[in-house]
Amino acid sequence: MTLAACRRFAGWSALIAVGMALALKLKEARFGEPYAGTRVFCLASDGDLMEGISAEASSIAGHLRLDNLVLIYDDNHITIEGDTDLTYSDDACKRYESYGWFAQFVDDGHDHAKVRAAIDRALAQKDRPSFIRARTHIGKGAPTKHDTKEAHGEPLGKDEVAAAKKAMGWDPNRQFYVPPEVYALFKERAAELAAEHDAWNARLKAWRTAHSDLAPKLDAFERKLVPENLYDELLKSLPDKDDSTRNLSGALEQIVARLVPSLIGGSADLAGSTKTLMKDGGSVGRGEFRGRNMHFGIREHGMGAICNGMALTGIIPFGATFLIFSDYMRPSVRLSALMEQQCLWIYTHDSVFLGEDGPTHQSIEQLWALRLIPHLYVARPADALECAAAWAIALGRKDGPIAFALTRQKVPKIVRDEGFSPKDALRGAYVVQDAPGGKPDAIVVATGSELHLAVGAKAKLEGQGKRVRVVSALCLEAFAKQDEAYRERVLPKGVRKASIEAGRTLPWRSLPS
Amino acid sequence: MTLAACRRFAGWSALIAVGMALALKLKEARFGEPYAGTRVFCLASDGDLMEGISAEASSIAGHLRLDNLVLIYDDNHITIEGDTDLTYSDDACKRYESYGWFAQFVDDGHDHAKVRAAIDRALAQKDRPSFIRARTHIGKGAPTKHDTKEAHGEPLGKDEVAAAKKAMGWDPNRQFYVPPEVYALFKERAAELAAEHDAWNARLKAWRTAHSDLAPKLDAFERKLVPENLYDELLKSLPDKDDSTRNLSGALEQIVARLVPSLIGGSADLAGSTKTLMKDGGSVGRGEFRGRNMHFGIREHGMGAICNGMALTGIIPFGATFLIFSDYMRPSVRLSALMEQQCLWIYTHDSVFLGEDGPTHQSIEQLWALRLIPHLYVARPADALECAAAWAIALGRKDGPIAFALTRQKVPKIVRDEGFSPKDALRGAYVVQDAPGGKPDAIVVATGSELHLAVGAKAKLEGQGKRVRVVSALCLEAFAKQDEAYRERVLPKGVRKASIEAGRTLPWRSLPS
């Protein structure tokens, strides 16, 4: 794969590009030639560089020595409020050198030869990503809006466009006009690229023949293949003890890791606390990409962006931290939902029961704040079986992300009615213990560490002659996708409902009454 | 004020410290001597430096040339997962130099003389903040846990503490023991500091006498004084036209700025779009602190942290951006609520009606995600009068932050019942138009740009013989503080309710039915 074949990666933000470059390195380490020499080019703006997420992602890229990444900084000195002098004095090249990048300054970013030469020097680098600060001019060629903030935030307008065309020697009255020389140039270039692409396909075909063992593995990896019997495999090996759901989930993750090679991820300096380390996985580190365990450092937002880039490049990524720190990476979580990417966000210490860290670390509103993000699933399992269901839902959902909410504290194994089928847990909400004859006076809905409290409440209330059903709402978003008959069966209208969950309760009051 | 007097600032995170240093500069520019030579010292960890928010805040500090800020980086090479080599290769000094800071490396951060010398060099700097990377050892003196991650994440334990004491020549069996030399040293130092403090008070007293004009202004500023008649003043000057609430709020902000000198703030590169520029305020810029308009650049999270630091240091700060970008600064918003600080978060473009920017910029879940943060107020005004009420609520609330949600699009002026008193709007929710005789069959609750739709719906429904009340829920959190009688009067139980708001609707279903 060559420069040309990777052009589709350009234009993403600096941060997602780091995840893409990392994914290519990971795949090269596993499959060799098909990914050898692949590169990611990224165009970044002043905004990208000012946002802290670029600092996090670029620091990781430098640390990992991602020499397949070239970031071109479109240094046009203009933001919405005006000249960058208003707010921005960074020495961008020095800053990127401090992250371990190779940095170059091109004094005229409109000079193709100069930019080409800088890219060539970048491509010759080993062991470090490349940063090219290219000084450019916004609205170049527009007679009055050249180098102005108006060229950033507003359309040039009819007169300015006409004047710009005139200044370039074009007919100002012609619109959507492409000169024949441009057509010719593109045609010629398209043919070159098609030839490159054919050559690459031929090389890939030869590689497939020579590596008949690896080729199907590559396809399975790229397709993020998950065995159809994953849930059954997990159910076979359920840890059979009272434990925290972070521990239970961590034990099941070991099985998932064995069955799903595309799963690669890590935590923001909390592997031991989130229990997300894949024991036989090895680490991804400086110039070392054979492992599966990422170490993102104390950089939640960068972790989010990198996972998104990995998901776009043939990996099933997971990023782990405490639930409270989901706030630090919320824009990336939202983007994973908007882009319909299979990202797993594993959040532990999911309530005030997190221990000694105090209010800055206590999740109160985070569960519902995540549930409000459109197209994101949120799974809060109550015991080992529900942890298995959460993993099965997560791995089965190819077109969107899921957030796990897991406890630090030990929770008891839930006793379910005899008729319970583990498949029901995959439906997002299900009857854990029903009222006698399936005719409840009231329904208690609970999640995660509070489900056993609901079971206890039912026993007490039944001692007082009340008929109570307990429903687990493991994943409300998966439940919402069930047909109406199932939803009505689990949570029938006209029956009073109560909810138990450690966190903001207000949105729970919207259960159909 | 001297080094000693400012020690209380130490220990905050790097980012809030930038806001504190800025606040002192702003106050020095206004009042001179009482703030001259004040300094902020900040101890930062690996975590502080890895998080992108430090990049944002430090870049702003360098740009503004905050030479009253000294950041000491406790470079102990250990994070929770292990050695920082696992994730972190930044050349920290070079990085801070790239932000325009004066950077020094102290090879032994336990050598008091070396640290002192570095601090002295830092204090001699003009026109740039100072960064001191001090190489330290975590768990220093603990025989087996020195330089280990265990010393970060866990208590040393009884045996290790005893062994450490023994190694230092102390009695391992004595607990909570302070040697007499230490008592003597602290006593001596306390006397020195008390004398310094007395001298400073004497200087301040002399300054007060010499500046009888400025002294009361300083007191009013420090106390964040707001005139009692602020709301009346705003009501007198209500813009009388249909307009976007960002424009209406921006017009009222000009009056607030005149009446409340402590109000200082700005936007994350969106002053023109958020309409938050104080027209006669001047700009805060490189080494220039007389102005009131901050330019935070494209750094929402840094803006949040800096505003928090300013609020802790005698300023009423505001930070403005699009509502969607509240996600980028959510941890700082949460912290402002947790710290009970009067921060104003001004968010515009508050719904899908934001124009051409598309789904990445469309607020869907942000309103409710903010409302879920404990102790944060969220105000979504519907017209000029409600904008005035939002400002009055914001300025009157000394012990907590408020988020404004303002439209980009024009909204019509709301027609209210004759009996309406503007004071009712301060109660967070109120009856805009009542059903005949005050006896509704149904209540329509709406906020902001959807309130006029509720008024229109009422008219239509009444044409069909329905008796409808329209309630504006300008600020649900202020409404929740009203007595039960008022709340019952506005939203009586037993009456059907509907809500209209552009955004996630689910939590609205929790209105008492």
pLDDT tens, position by position, B381-413: 999 999 999 999 999 999 999 999 999 999 999
CA distance B96 to A335: 31
**pLDDT class of A2 with cuts at 50, 70, 90:** very low
CA distance A70 to A3: 11
On the question of pLDDT at A179 being above 50, the answer is yes
Question: What is residue B508's predicted lDDT score, i.e. its pLDDT?
Answer: 86
Query: Is there a contact between B170 and B140 (Cβ–Cβ < 8 Å)?
Result: no
- Picking from B52, B153, B359, the nearest residue to A302 by CB comes out as B52
| Cα–Cα separations (whole angstroms), residue B340 to A212, A374, B179, B508 | 64, 30, 39, 26
| pTM for this entry | 0.95
At position B434, the amino acid (one-letter code) is D
Note whether A301 contacts B: Cβ–Cβ < 8 A: yes
Query: Tell me: the pLDDT tens digits for A432-458?
Result: 999 999 999 999 999 999 999 999 999
Query: Tell me: the pLDDT tens digits for A403-429?
Result: 999 999 999 999 999 999 999 999 999
Residue A314 in tokens: 């043939």
> What average pLDDT does the structure give for chain A?
94
Residues 372-391 of A with CB under 8 A from B: 372-374
Note whether A509 contacts B: Cβ–Cβ < 8 A: yes
Residues contacting residue A367 through CB under 8 Å, at least 6 positions apart = A323, A350, A378, A380, A405, A501, A503, A504
Residue B303 main-chain phi, psi, to 5 deg: -60, -45
Chain A residues whose beta carbon lies within 8 Å of the beta carbon of residue B378: none
| Cα–Cα separations (whole angstroms), residue A454 to A381, A480, B170, B189, B211 | 14, 22, 53, 58, 67
Higher pLDDT, A6 or B490: B490
Distance, in angstroms, between B61 CA and closest chain A CA? Answer: 10
Q: Do B59 and A507 touch (CB under 8 A)?
A: no
Mean pLDDT of A484-506: 94
Note whether B339 contacts A: Cβ–Cβ < 8 A: no
Identify from A372, A499, A508 which residue to disrupt to test chain B contact, counting B C-beta atoms within 10 A and taking the largest count: A372
Burial class (CB in 10 A: 0-12, 13-18, 19+), B358: exposed
Chain B residues whose beta carbon lies within 8 Å of the beta carbon of residue A508: 510
Give percent helix, percent strand, percent coil of chain B, each to the nearest 5. 45, 15, 40
Distance, in angstroms, between A80 CA and closest chain B CA? Answer: 6
Question: What is residue A509's predicted lDDT score, i.e. its pLDDT?
Answer: 80
Chain A residues whose beta carbon lies within 8 Å of the beta carbon of residue B338: 359-360
Chain A residues whose beta carbon lies within 8 Å of the beta carbon of residue B271: 81
Question: What is residue A511's predicted lDDT score, i.e. its pLDDT?
Answer: 65
CA distance B57 to B40: 14
- Annotated active-site residue in B56, B160, B253, B300: B300
Backbone φ/ψ region at A139: left (φ over 0), alpha (ψ -120 to 50), beta: left
Q: How many helices (H) and strands (E) does chain A have?
A: 20, 18
Question: What is residue B355's predicted lDDT score, i.e. its pLDDT?
Answer: 81
CA distance A476 to A501: 13
Residue B136 main-chain phi, psi, to 5 deg: -125, 175
β-strand B496-500 against B442-446: which pairing, if any? Answer: parallel
* Residue with tokens 């409808």, as numbered in its chain: B468
Identify from A75, A298, A375, A497 which residue to disrupt to test chain B contact, counting B C-beta atoms within 10 A and taking the largest count: A298
Mean pLDDT of B200-226: 96
For residue A284, what is the nearest residue in chain B, using CA coordinates?
B86
On the question of pLDDT at B197 being above 80, the answer is yes
Complex ipTM: 0.95
Mean pLDDT of A372-391: 98
Q: Do A46 and B298 touch (CB under 8 A)?
A: yes
DSSP sequence for B78-143: EETTEEGGGT----HHHHHHHTT-EEEEES-TT-HHHHHHHHHHHHT--SS-EEEEEE--TTTT-T
Question: What is residue A415's predicted lDDT score, i.e. its pLDDT?
Answer: 97
Chain A residues whose beta carbon lies within 8 Å of the beta carbon of residue B508: 510
Mean pLDDT of B267-290: 96
Distance, in angstroms, between B391 CA and closest chain A CA? Answer: 25
Identify from B105, B365, B493, B497 which residue to disrupt to test chain A contact, counting A C-beta atoms within 10 A and taking the largest count: B365
Burial class (CB in 10 A: 0-12, 13-18, 19+), B437: exposed
Note whether B47 contacts A: Cβ–Cβ < 8 A: yes
Q: Do B372 and A374 touch (CB under 8 A)?
A: no
CA distance B365 to B351: 9
Chain A residues whose beta carbon lies within 8 Å of the beta carbon of residue B298: 46-47, 50-51, 79
Kindly report the number of other CB atoms within 10 A of residue A191's CB atom.
10
| Cα–Cα separations (whole angstroms), residue B139 to B136, B146, B147 | 10, 4, 6
Question: What is residue B2's predicted lDDT score, i.e. its pLDDT?
Answer: 31
Distance, in angstroms, between B373 CA and closest chain A CA? Answer: 6
Question: What is residue A357's predicted lDDT score, i.e. its pLDDT?
Answer: 83
CA distance B52 to B75: 17
Note whether B150 contacts A: Cβ–Cβ < 8 A: no
For residue B503, what is the nearest residue in chain A, using CA coordinates?
A372
Hey, is A182 helix, strand or coil?
helix
Kindly list the catalytic residues of A: 300
B365 is catalytic: no
CA distance B354 to A152: 18
Question: What is residue B13's predicted lDDT score, i.e. its pLDDT?
Answer: 61
Burial class (CB in 10 A: 0-12, 13-18, 19+), A26: buried
Query: Tell me: the pLDDT tens digits for B305-356?
Result: 999 999 999 999 999 999 999 999 999 999 999 999 999 999 999 999 988 8
For residue A96, what is the nearest residue in chain B, using CA coordinates?
B95
On the question of pLDDT at A9 being above 50, the answer is no
CA distance B459 to A13: 49
- Picking from A50, A81, A269, the nearest residue to B59 by CB comes out as A50
Residues 82-121 of A with CB under 8 A from B: 84, 86-92, 94-95, 97-100
Q: Do A56 and B54 touch (CB under 8 A)?
A: no
Chain A residues whose beta carbon lies within 8 Å of the beta carbon of residue B80: 269-270, 272-273
For residue B324, what is the nearest residue in chain A, using CA coordinates?
A331
- Picking from B90, B302, B368, the nearest residue to A99 by CB comes out as B90
Query: Is there a contact between B445 and B511 (Cβ–Cβ < 8 Å)?
Result: yes
